[in-house]
Amino acid sequence: MMRFLGTVVSAAILIVLAYLFVGWMVDGYFGGNIVPDRLVPDAWAAPNSWSEWRDILIVFTFVFWMVAGMVMIAVAVALFLLVGGQVPSYLGSSFAFIAVVKVAEVLR
C-alpha cells in the first residue's frame, strides 16, 4: 500500500513539474499561451515569459526538496528510535522530537 501511495504522489509531482516545464518551453520560446487568460478573466494570469516560468520552477523545486528533506529527517529519527537508539540530551527538549519519540513508543 505504501509503495502505491509513494508512486501516486511521485507521479503527481512529476506531472506538475512536466506541465510547468512544457509551459515554460511553449510560452517562452514559441509564444504560446498555455493557460489562456480569456478562460479565467478574473483569476491569476499565467506567466508571460520564460523567466517567470523559470522562477516558478525554481521555487517549486526548492519547496519539494525542503519537504522531502524534512520527511527524510523525521523518518530517520523515527527509525533510529524504533531500533532502540539513545536520545541525545540536546534533542530531549524539542517539541517535534518529543512528538516523534511518542509516535515511536506507540509503534513499539
The CA–CA distances, whole Å, from 32 to 17, 25, 41, 45, 47 equal 18, 9, 17, 14, 11
| Least confident residue range of 17-26, 30-39, 44-53, 69-78 | 30-39
- Domain count of the fold of the chain: 1
Query: What confidence category does residue 95 fall into, taking pLDDT thresholds of 50, 70 and 90?
Result: low
> ∠19-14-9 over CA atoms, to 5°?
130
What integer is the mean pLDDT of 26-44?
65
pLDDT at 79: 78
List, for residues 4-28, the tens digit of each pLDDT value: 888 898 999 999 889 878 877 777 6
* pTM confidence score: 0.41
Q: Can you give the residue range of the structural domain that contains 31?
A: 2-107
